Amino acid sequence: MKAIVYGGPGRKSWTDVPDPTIQNPGDAIVKVDTTTICGTDLHILKGDVPAVREGRVLGHEGVGTVTEVGQSVTSLRPGDRVIISCIKSCGHCANCKSGLYSHCLGEEGASGIGWVFGHLIDGTQAEYVRVPYAENSLHLLPAGVTDEQAVMLSDILPTGFEIGVQYGRVKPGDTVAVIGAGPVGLAAIATAGLYGAAAIIAVDLDANRLEKSREFGATHVIASGDADWKEQLLALTDGQGVDVAIEAVGIPDTFSMCTEIVRPGGNVANVGVHGKPVQLHLEDLWIRNINISMGLVNANTTAMLLKLVAQKKLPAEKFATHHFRFNEFMDAYDTFARAAETNALKVVITA
Ligand SMILES: [Zn+2]
Ligand SMILES: [Zn+2]
C-alpha cells in the first residue's frame, strides 16, 4: 500500500510500505477512506517529537471501512464505516475505566500514552491502518454522517470540547474568549454553546479566521493585532474579564494573554501544544483565584459529539476548506503548511 512515511526532520514521502496485518486479537484493519493533516504532524516533521522514528507512517485522524477484525472483536464487521479516534483505549485499564483514555495503560505503542497513531505505531495517512483495541478505539458511523464531517471527530472536535470547554468549566451565561481561531480553537468556539456560553469572543491575528469563526458560533471577534485589543475585549465584559479564556495557539504570548483577560475566579484552559516554557505569573495570579487547566484529549466525548453532528447541531463540515485525493497528498501538506496564505483550516484527503 501507499502511505505518508516520515523520513526524519523535514522529510516525508508518499511511498510504498507493507500492508498492515492483524497482530493482536483485538485489532482491526481499516481501509482509510478519508484522512486529514494536523498541526501535530507539522511539529513531527520539524523534528519536535523525537519519539517518532524514521519509517513511521504519519497521521492520527481518519475515517474508513473495516476490512478485517481480530478473533476477539465481536462488535465490528468487515464493511462497517468507522471513525478512527486519535487516542487508543484498551477499555479495561484503570485509566480507561475512569475515562482518562489519553493515558491508557495498554501496552500498544507505550503503556500510559493514548496518542500512538502516527507517533509510536503506524498512523492513518495511508491506504490501510491497523487499529489496536478496535472495539474501543473505533466509532461506528451512522449513515447520515459524511466522511468529511466524521473526520473532524477523530481529534479536533473532542480536543476543543474536552480540553477547552469542559476543562475550562464553561457554564450557562459565561463569557468565553478563545485565543487562536485555528481548527482546534474553532472547535472550542463551536462547542462552547453546548454548556450555555452567552458570549463567545474569537481573538486572532488573521482576519480570515476571525470571519470564519462567526460561522462556528463566535458572537464577537477581536483582531489581536490591534493595539487596544485588550480594551476591546474587556469592554465586552463588565470590565472584570472573561469567565473562561481558552488558549488554542501554543506560544507564551497567547498563554499570557489568557491570564490577562480572565476575571477573578475564572478559568484559563490551555489547549495549545507548547514547544517552549511559559512564564507563569503566580505572584499576580494567586490573589485572583484563577484556575488553570491543560491536557491531551481523552476522546471520551466522541460518541456524544457524533450524535450532535448527526443531528446537524455541530457544523463539522465547515472545517474542511481544501480537498485532495491520496495521490495529491504532498500538495495537501504544502497547502496546510502554508495556511496563512492558503486560508486552510482542515485539508481533507480522500482515497
Ligand atoms: Zn490531530
Ligand atoms: Zn486502557
314 has pLDDT over 90: yes
Q: Which stretch of 108-117, 139-148, 273-282, 293-302 has the lowest confidence by average pLDDT? A: 273-282
3-class state of residue 94 by DSSP? helix
Strand partners, 177: 201, 245
Q: Using alpha carbons, list the distances in angstroms from residue 133 to 20, 27, 106, 178, 306.
A: 15, 6, 9, 34, 20
Cα 156 to averaged position of ligand 1 atoms, centre (Å): 6
150 has pLDDT over 90: yes
Cα 179 to averaged position of ligand 2 atoms, centre (Å): 32
Cα 97 to averaged position of ligand 2 atoms, centre (Å): 7
Which ligand number lies closest to the CA of residue 112? 2
Burial (CB count <10 Å: 0-12, 13-18, 19+), residue 123: buried
Averaged pLDDT, 199-213: 97
Which ligand number lies closest to the CA of residue 125? 1
Interval 56-68: pLDDT, tens: 999 999 999 999 9
Cα 232 to averaged position of ligand 2 atoms, centre (Å): 45
102 has pLDDT over 90: yes
Considering the chain, what percentage of its residues have pLDDT values greater than 70?
Answer: 100
Cα 104 to averaged position of ligand 2 atoms, centre (Å): 4
Cα 211 to averaged position of ligand 1 atoms, centre (Å): 23
Which ligand number lies closest to the CA of residue 297? 1
Which ligand number lies closest to the CA of residue 105? 2
Cα 110 to averaged position of ligand 2 atoms, centre (Å): 11
Which ligand number lies closest to the CA of residue 117? 1
Cα 70 to averaged position of ligand 2 atoms, centre (Å): 18
Which ligand number lies closest to the CA of residue 26? 2
Task: Provide the pLDDT confidence category of residue 275 given band limits of 50, 70 and 90.
Answer: confident
Which ligand number lies closest to the CA of residue 102? 2
Interval 186-203: pLDDT, tens: 999 999 999 999 999 999
Averaged pLDDT, 277-302: 96
Question: Do the strands 138-140 and 2-6 form a parallel or antiparallel pair, or are they unpaired?
Answer: unpaired
Cα 75 to averaged position of ligand 1 atoms, centre (Å): 26
pTM over 0.85: yes
160 backbone dihedrals φ, ψ, rounded to 5°:
-60, -40
Cα 280 to averaged position of ligand 2 atoms, centre (Å): 33
Q: How many residues are recorded in the chain?
A: 351
Task: Provide the pLDDT confidence category of residue 80 given band limits of 50, 70 and 90.
Answer: very high
Cα 99 to averaged position of ligand 2 atoms, centre (Å): 9
Enclosing H/E stretch for 244: strand 242-247
Cα 127 to averaged position of ligand 1 atoms, centre (Å): 18
CB 61 within 8 A of CB 32: no
Averaged pLDDT, 312-340: 97
48 has pLDDT over 90: no
Cα 330 to averaged position of ligand 1 atoms, centre (Å): 18
Cα 224 to averaged position of ligand 2 atoms, centre (Å): 41
> Residue 307: its pLDDT value, please?
98
Which ligand number lies closest to the CA of residue 43? 1
Cell numbers 483495541 correspond to 133
Dihedral in degrees, nearest 10, Cα atoms 283, 166, 38, 201 = -70
d(CA 213, CA 222): 11
d(CA 147, CA 308): 15
Which ligand number lies closest to the CA of residue 104? 2
Cα 301 to averaged position of ligand 2 atoms, centre (Å): 16
Averaged pLDDT, 283-308: 97
